[in-house]
Structure 1
């Protein structure tokens, strides 16, 4: 399992792995419900569920792609522009702040501004070459979903031989960990994204204020929301900086709104994820810091999942 997970990270197959688990658990969730709804025999319900799970993304793509093609295919270019926009906002910080506040900034603040802007510009340059990787990730995600759905539809073989039994046990534990962390984090991210969309598309326009790159910010909120703790910090920084490009008061409103909804998220995180996986905040932060240093942004997503699985294996063996 350790070798397989490392191989997945080094070959950038994490989207495929997550979608394998999603396809498998989704098919298993749909199977009994579709069986009752359609009155299908027990051996046909899993195949019907696998078909539904496989067709759902294809139907969504067919319906949404004509309208959201630019958002999906041009995402790397859009976020590259957003990072450049944020870099310019940081450089123009003194001009955007009220004079009384700007005058209080220390002389060394300009160097800090240039350092932050250079960092954002470097990340924008990295995004310039990720277009093909982005499309490959989408392909791996769909193939993973298909594999997971087909695995769920496969009839169980009993009794299991020793190697198969051990693999089944490990995969079962990994699936439980995925359900506890990723599924819970998905609903948290969806909750966060819904409130953010209402704030950006409804509340701010009522004040005659609009943020640039609104759709990109909403999608970023969902993607960052899948990362425990750190994702909230990323959302706070990006939305506040973009709000600052409009006015200091909009930036303050964005920050206040984000603090309020993220307080609710911390409560949900502590209750849902921390309680079910026995992980403390310091453990999550340490693991994500190391995984991000080794594997880049993908490590931020994989870190909590892999660590929780490792801890589950050690607890089952009586080591911790």
Structure 2
């Protein structure tokens, strides 16, 4: 069976959701040893959205899922894939609850954990369901509430992350049509897993066996993560372009994981792209982890900076280490502001 006969995964719906609480740099500076100028200079972030107490990843995922299903014209799906590193519970997975709350109870539902690369790994999972004839339509949601993992006294991680969710509906379609996901390039490097961690709570370091301390919180070796992320995203993007038969000057829009403004700027330089090609929202929402790519896609469609027919390059990097990239020609979608 050829790839065309197996069917391509085609984006036919898109939505996003951000929590209501806005956290400004000024608010962070009232309790952290830092300044608004330092945060902006180091990260490019001015504000972010955080969940309120009692608000969870599933709440964000459900709202984004509703928006994507509405964008796709309603109807059901055959599977729900949730990309997240902040599930509601360590057990069970969060995707089945999200499916049930969306009125999709009974369909296949699973979580995918690839940290900030989660949306691209989720695309591969959803595309695999379609290619294997397991599903005709798949709802892929990327949602994270990373604020729940942060040390409240750590000035290096507190300003970086925002919470949010983005979602797409994928249908079976033809290779090469607008919205069809191009060749996916994915990779990992477990030898460097220590660069991005939350150590407490897993089987290696059960919560009951650890003293209170930093192991409960998100930790990152920032300098090496910067070096690895820019290199790995550039390599994956280059490989994805080659696999799709695209040249660099074919790219109309670069949608990269929104880690911080410095990483995005370096990535553009490494790829040799014009700065007008790159789209960003990190200043307003921070690093929304797995959700960053679909949230940016939705906001870019709404503000007109992403239009049907434009050739789009997606790339991301996350803990694990994990990374990935793919291409698509942007389709005509009916989406609504969250």
Whether TM-score is above 0.5 comes out as no
Question: Which structure dedicates a bigger proportion of its chain to strand?
Answer: 2
Select the structure of larger CA radius of gyration: 1
Question: Which structure dedicates a bigger proportion of its chain to helix?
Answer: 1
Using the size of structure 1 for normalisation, the TM-score is 0.24
Using the size of structure 2 for normalisation, the TM-score is 0.23
